[in-house]
């Protein structure tokens, strides 16, 4: 059987790609292993609670994306929120981002952060080549040691100097001296950062977005696992043993897993590039809990190394996701990509640590959903850029377009997933014409 265009993966980027292709008269087949569409943008219901697969929020900056969501009929169901996020340090919280909100820190720690920033501000700037030096050059040692180094090392499971600067652009706000001083005095009240506001469904969870787009994809094949990809003869092998021939492929699978699917003999440089890719998994413990949420924030960051989680969210603070008189919690723990870990034991440790921090009453937990997202975050080390460029060229030369966060091996938001789908669809349509 032959399909003109095959989309590997029914996550957000894959669905948008197929929807846009079909809108311009170009049929596409979407192959998705799971029983429901959405990829990581999924939601499950359990005992009356609604759980997303970790935090998924819509940060809309482009009018055409907003118009697209209106066209999907869901824009009016997406409620806009002003971010309420904080950093938990020394048993207390201070608003996020910390560089303009040190007022909540203990006085001595606040002093170290402020003096460090002033010294960095007054020093000649250097051409930093790694994240550690970049932080020291722009924020100073105090903020680095207090938050930037421990938090990112906990999340990426890599030392700060192992990380490149390819990811810091729009994700790490860089304030001026006045804003930092105002923040130390509690005078900074404006929102900064790409996620200062976000939209989220009023009810039902983030699956609303994927479900709406999936309804417009005519040939979405769920429970269909791809087990092999032949680049020279142009076919994919499915889990039932059948083959599907293709003229072009849009791949949204995680890049290392995509390479592993190829049945052709691979050149050494491709194998080396595949081996160079690093990532972390995330253990997500979603809890349905009796009573009101312990804090008003949407989520908290935890840089301290004695706590196993890097972030804890309270999703019911921004959506109707729990029965009346209850709330939901999302605990996120970073895991190495290859480490064999006792998931249930780690989940118990996470709950105990959250209780010790005063943010969970164990006896109030009514239900839990434990998942492992693999991959979850790309590690932006110094080998990533060249490895990804080589693999992108390799696949493109053979009719396979990489699209989306995982296939392009990058960090991006949900709006980017929509834009990536548009870009992939335009490429396929142009090639077909």
How confident is the model over 104-143, as pLDDT tens digits? Answer: 999 999 999 999 999 999 998 888 999 999 999 999 999 9
Single pTM value for the model: 0.95
Q: Are residues 102 and 11 in the same domain?
A: no
User: Domain total for the chain?
Assistant: 3
Q: How confident is the model at residue 87 (pLDDT cuts 50, 70, 90)?
A: very high
Contact partners, residue 399, CB within 8 Å, separation at least 6: 231, 234, 246, 247, 248, 249
Domain extent at residue 234: 2-42+203-276+381-432
Domain presence at residue 53: no
- Which of these three, 339, 360, 378, is where a domain ends? 378
State mean pLDDT over 65-72: 97
For 80, other C-beta atoms within 10 Å of its C-beta total 10
- Which of these three, 353, 378, 403, is where a domain ends? 378
Domain presence at residue 265: yes
- Which of these three, 161, 178, 195, is where a domain ends? 178
Q: How confident is the model at residue 364 (pLDDT cuts 50, 70, 90)?
A: very high
Q: Are residues 129 and 210 in the same domain?
A: no
pLDDT given for residue 288 in this prediction: 98
pLDDT given for residue 99 in this prediction: 93
pLDDT given for residue 2 in this prediction: 55
Q: Mean pLDDT over all residues of the chain?
A: 95
Q: Are residues 287 and 270 in the same domain?
A: no
Check whether 349 has a pLDDT greater than 90.
yes
200: its two tokens: 């989220």
pLDDT given for residue 265 in this prediction: 97
Q: How confident is the model at residue 415 (pLDDT cuts 50, 70, 90)?
A: very high
Domain presence at residue 58: no
**Length of the chain counted residue by residue:** 433
Q: Are residues 266 and 335 in the same domain?
A: no
Please name the helix (run of DSSP H) or strand (run of DSSP E) that holds residue 348, with its range, or none. Answer: helix 343-356
Domain presence at residue 11: yes
Q: Are residues 131 and 157 in the same domain?
A: yes
State mean pLDDT over 296-322: 97
Q: Are residues 224 and 104 in the same domain?
A: no
18: its two tokens: 């197929």
Q: Are residues 14 and 156 in the same domain?
A: no
Q: Are residues 121 and 102 in the same domain?
A: yes
**Residue 424, domain CATH:** 3.50.50.60
Check whether 1 has a pLDDT greater than 60.
no
State mean pLDDT over 382-411: 98
pLDDT given for residue 54 in this prediction: 86
Mapping DSSP to helix (H, G, I), strand (E, B) and coil, where does residue 197 land?
strand
In the chain, % of residues over pLDDT 70 = 98
Domain presence at residue 187: no
pLDDT given for residue 3 in this prediction: 62
- With tokens 């981002």, the residue in question is 97
Check whether 95 has a pLDDT greater than 70.
yes
Q: Which of 12-26, 80-94, 161-175, 181-195 has the lowest mean pLDDT?
A: 181-195
Q: Are residues 259 and 119 in the same domain?
A: no
Q: Are residues 19 and 6 in the same domain?
A: yes
pLDDT given for residue 172 in this prediction: 79
Q: Are residues 283 and 344 in the same domain?
A: yes
Q: Are residues 17 and 151 in the same domain?
A: no
State mean pLDDT over 176-196: 82
pLDDT given for residue 193 in this prediction: 67
Q: How confident is the model at residue 55 (pLDDT cuts 50, 70, 90)?
A: confident
Domain presence at residue 60: no
pLDDT given for residue 413 in this prediction: 92
Burial of residue 356, with CB atoms counted within 10 A of its CB: 0-12 exposed, 13-18 middle, 19 or more buried: exposed
Domain presence at residue 188: no
Domain presence at residue 86: no
pLDDT given for residue 175 in this prediction: 86
* pLDDT tens, residue by residue, 231-290: 999 999 999 999 999 999 999 999 999 999 999 999 999 999 999 999 999 999 999 999
User: What DSSP character marks residue 148?
Assistant: I
**Residue 334, domain CATH:** 3.90.660.20
């Amino acid at each position: 059987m032959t399909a003109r265009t095959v989309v590997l993966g029914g996550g957000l980027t894959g669905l948008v790609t197929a929807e846009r292709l079909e809108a311009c008269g170009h049929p596409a087949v979407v192959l998705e292993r799971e029983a429901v569409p959405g990829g990581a943008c999924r939601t499950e219901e359990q005992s009356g609670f609604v759980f997303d697969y970790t935090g998924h929020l819509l940060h809309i900056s482009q009018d055409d994306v907003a118009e697209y969501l209106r066209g999907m009929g869901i824009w009016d169901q997406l409620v806009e929120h002003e971010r309420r996020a904080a950093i938990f340090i020394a048993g207390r919280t201070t608003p996020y981002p910390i560089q303009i909100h040190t007022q909540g820190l203990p006085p001595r720690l606040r002093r170290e952060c402020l003096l460090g920033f002033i010294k960095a501000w007054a020093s000649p700037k250097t051409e930093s080549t790694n994240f550690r030096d970049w932080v020291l050059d722009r924020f100073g040692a105090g903020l680095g040691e207090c938050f930037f180094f421990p938090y990112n090392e906990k999340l990426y499971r890599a030392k700060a100097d192992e990380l490149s600067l390819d990811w810091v652009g729009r994700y790490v706000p860089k304030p001026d001296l006045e804003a930092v001083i105002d923040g130390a005095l509690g005078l900074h009240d404006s929102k900064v950062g790409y996620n200062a506001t976000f939209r989220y469904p009023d009810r039902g969870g983030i699956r609303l977005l994927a479900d709406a787009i999936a309804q417009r994809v005519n040939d979405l094949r769920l429970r269909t696992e791809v087990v092999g990809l032949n680049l020279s003869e142009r076919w994919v092998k499915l889990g039932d043993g059948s083959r599907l021939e293709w003229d072009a492929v849009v791949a949204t699978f995680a890049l290392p897993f995509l390479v592993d699917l190829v049945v052709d003999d691979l050149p050494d440089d491709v194998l080396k590039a595949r081996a160079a890719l690093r990532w972390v998994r995330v253990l997500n413990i979603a809890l349905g809990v009796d009573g009101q949420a312990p804090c008003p924030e949407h989520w908290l960051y935890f840089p301290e190394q004695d706590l196993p989680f890097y972030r804890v969210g309270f999703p019911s603070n921004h959506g109707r996701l729990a029965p009346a008189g209850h709330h939901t919690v999302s605990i996120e723990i970073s895991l190495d990509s290859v480490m064999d870990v006792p998931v249930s034991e780690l989940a118990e440790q996470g709950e105990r640590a959250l209780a010790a921090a005063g943010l969970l009453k164990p006896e109030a937990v009514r239900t839990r959903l434990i998942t492992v997202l693999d991959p979850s975050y790309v590690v932006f080390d110094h080998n990533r850029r060249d490895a990804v460029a080589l693999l992108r060229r390799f696949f493109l030369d053979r009719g396979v377009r990489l699209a989306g966060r995982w296939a392009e091996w990058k960090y991006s938001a949900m709006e980017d997933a929509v834009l990536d789908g548009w870009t992939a669809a335009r490429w396929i349509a142009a090639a077909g014409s």
